[in-house]
A and B are shown apart, each in its own frame.
Chain A
Amino acid sequence: MSAESAGVLDRFVSAERRELWQRSWKRFTSRPMSVIGLGIIIAIILLAVFAPVVAPYPEHAGKFTDFSNTLQPPSLDHPLGTDHVGRDVLSRILFGYRLSLMLVGVVLGFGVPVGVLLGLVAGYYGGWTETIIMRATDTALALPPLVMALAITSALEPTLTNAMIAIAALWWTWHARLVQSIVASERGEEYVQAAKLAGASTPHILFREILPNTLSPILVKVTLDAGFVILIGAGLSFIGVGVQPPQPGLGTMVSQGTSYLPDSWWVSVFAGLAIFVLVMGFNMLGDGLRDLFDVEVNR
């Protein structure tokens, strides 16, 4: 960072605020679990982004067959072995991470803003607006998330895109509920009354006064959600309504590998472990953030 941009930053970020950040960072790093979690996530994101460069056999990510090399156990050439059509399992896992992270990005990228907006509106206005929005969220809660996503997917062609749509259509509801409950308790607070009396517009009160108070629980929830979304996506792919072969979905790979158990265990086992490590990373980070911000967020 150049001296000039640091100067610009100084003008926006006060010294107290920077000290607060530094203290938070220190508290965050004092818990090894959260740091390990953050490390896992960053490492996997980098591996996924640079998969075409770092994967030993990038061409194996798609429709590739080498029938002279099928179901080879782990070796120096193929550290995690090969699958039933001779593709390198490690390369497919790295590309599989791209699909998992994309799923998280799309689901939360759509679900969180929509949920937060509807939650703000419901919590602030109350009355009929609130009733309608909250009844809609209740409906989404009438089924376990996996079953709901499965039922929606069943009406569509089984593809990754449709699995994303199904999960995203579901996910906004949790954020709407979380934000609504916070806003409902904040709207009577003095600072909101003061802003109202000072003639602030409703959008100003919603976004500049109330929203900042909901950010830390949302951040914690998003981190914990990420792991959960990955598990649901992997579950749908495992059932066969998510990522379709030859695309390298992690859940799809576990499912395909089961046909070759117990002798060729490496396909299912390594693909399953890959899901586990990523989800574990998000959960460790989320747990650390929850302690840091000292907020209660339930799944």
Chain B
Amino acid sequence: MKYWQYLVRRLAGILVSLIGLSIIIFTTSRVLPGNPARMALGALASEEQVQALAAEMGLNKPIPLQYLDYMRGLLVGDLGTSLETKRAVSTDIVYYLPATLELITVSMFLTVVIGIPLGVVAAQNKDGLTDNATRLVAFFSVSVPGFFIAIMFQLLFGYLLEWLPITGRLGSEFGSGVSRFTGFLLVDTLLSGNLAAHVDAWAHIILPALALSLAGIGQVMRITRSSMIDVKDQDYVEAERGFGLPSWLVTYKYTLKNAFIPTLTILGLLYASLLGNAFLIELVYSWPGLASYGVTAVLNNDFNAVVGVTMTIGVAFVSINFLVDVLLGRVDPRIRLAMEEAT
């Protein structure tokens, strides 16, 4: 099979699984206990009002028909109305998504700049003290609940040392001085020319981003270490050493470059999985992102919002995984060959 045929097949598979996902999520959200129309109107509304709204929302139709209506709306970007905010779910998602993406992107950056160097150092000192220390750190980072470490950071850096703010994205004093351009505060504060607010936005994002990146740092560190060790014993690296190249050049130019491929795979998977972990971190830091919006929706049985958020995350999740595959195929011909041979 040709490489592009493989990619087309993957895309078709992704489409099928997204449709499967939408059916599952839609159906489970529609068998909710309690009447969503009643919930939207509150306890004081009369039975007639509730019935009228239920009819308007299409809740009296059979679920498969409701699903078709929903999918028809989805094609034109209509995800229904949130019972909680009374706004269109798509508007809400566009509003809350940048905060989450900003948090995830900064976490990813921290994961890379902390995880990869630590992995390199560990590989250089294989079985030495540093290696064993990083192994312990890795164990710690995948075993500790993210929400717990988030609370620990708040206690330590917020309450005890009073270095950093513990909730929100921006101090209330900057509220009026920053206009919304992109929804990414680190960008918007700059575009508004408000440097003090920009610094404040960094101060707010650093703790949640660090808490979110911890599990990934452990994984990136271990995978960088083991692939560095694998590559180090390859003949071409031995040859370069034999030519008398300095060891730092061999390490950084030749070894790391080739060892980076497994790391790249993990990074892609991580970026996607941060979408899930962000749910807990945003809750701890009152971070007004998509996850906070989703949790509120779940707790309030806001069914359109639940489906909308879930599908958004699903699409983002599978797209990132697919992009990583494409990228890997481009950088490593061996992987492309393996893909062509598969099925």
Residues 265-282 (chain A) with a chain B CB within 8 angstroms = 265, 268-269, 272-273, 275-276, 279-280
Tell me the residues in window 236-275 of chain B with beta carbons closer than 8 Å to chain A beta carbons: 272-273, 275
**Complex CA distance for A145 and B272, rounded to whole angstroms:** 11
Which bucket holds chain A's interface residue count? 35 or more
**Contact between A139 and B140 (Cβ–Cβ < 8 Å)?**
no
User: What is the minimal beta-carbon distance from A102 to any residue of chain B, in angstroms?
Assistant: 18
Q: Which residues of A contact B142 (CB under 8 A)?
A: 227, 283
Q: Complex Cα distance A152/B283, Å?
A: 19
Q: Tell yes or no: A157 within 8 A of B by CB.
A: yes
Contacts A136-B20, A142-B317, A147-B276 given; indicate if A155 touches B28 (C-beta within 8 A): yes
CB distance from A114 to the nearest CB of B (A): 17
Cβ < 8 Å to B, chain A residues 236-281 = 238-241, 251, 254, 258, 261-262, 265, 268-269, 272-273, 275-276, 279-280
Closest CB in chain B relative to A31 CB, distance in Å: 12
State whether B276 touches A146 (Cβ < 8 A): yes
Interface residues on B, range: 35 or more
Q: Is the CB of B275 within 8 A of A144?
A: yes
Please state if B279 and A239 are interface contacts (CB–CB under 8 Å): yes
Separation in Å of the A84 CB from the closest CB of chain B?
A: 16
A200 at the interface (CB under 8 A from B): no
| B 288-303 binary contact with A (CB < 8 Å = 1; else 0) | 0000001101110100
Which residue of A is nearest B27, CB measured? A155
A145 touches B276 (CB 8 A): yes
- Find out whether the CB atom of A283 lies under 8 angstroms from the CB atom of B295: no
A272's contact among B145, B275, B314, B317, by CB below 8 Å, is which? B145
Interface string of B13-26 (1 = CB under 8 A from A): 11011101100110
The answer to whether the Cβ of B106 comes within 8 Å of any Cβ in the partner chain is no
Q: Which residues from A are CB-within-8-Å of B275?
A: 144, 147
Q: In the complex, which residues of chain B have a beta carbon less than 8 angstroms from the beta carbon of A276?
A: 143-145, 148
Label chain A's interface by main secondary structure.
helix
Query: B residues within 8 Å of A by Cβ?
Result: 13-14, 16-18, 20-21, 24-25, 28-29, 31-33, 139-140, 142-148, 151-152, 154-155, 158-160, 272-273, 275-277, 279-280, 283-284, 294-295, 297-299, 301, 306, 310, 313-314, 317-318
> Can you list 12 contacts pairing A with B, beta carbon distance less than 8 Å?
A135-B13, A146-B279, A150-B298, A157-B33, A238-B283, A239-B279, A239-B280, A241-B299, A254-B145, A261-B151, A276-B144, A283-B139
Closest 3 CB pairs of A and B: A144-B276, A272-B148, A139-B20
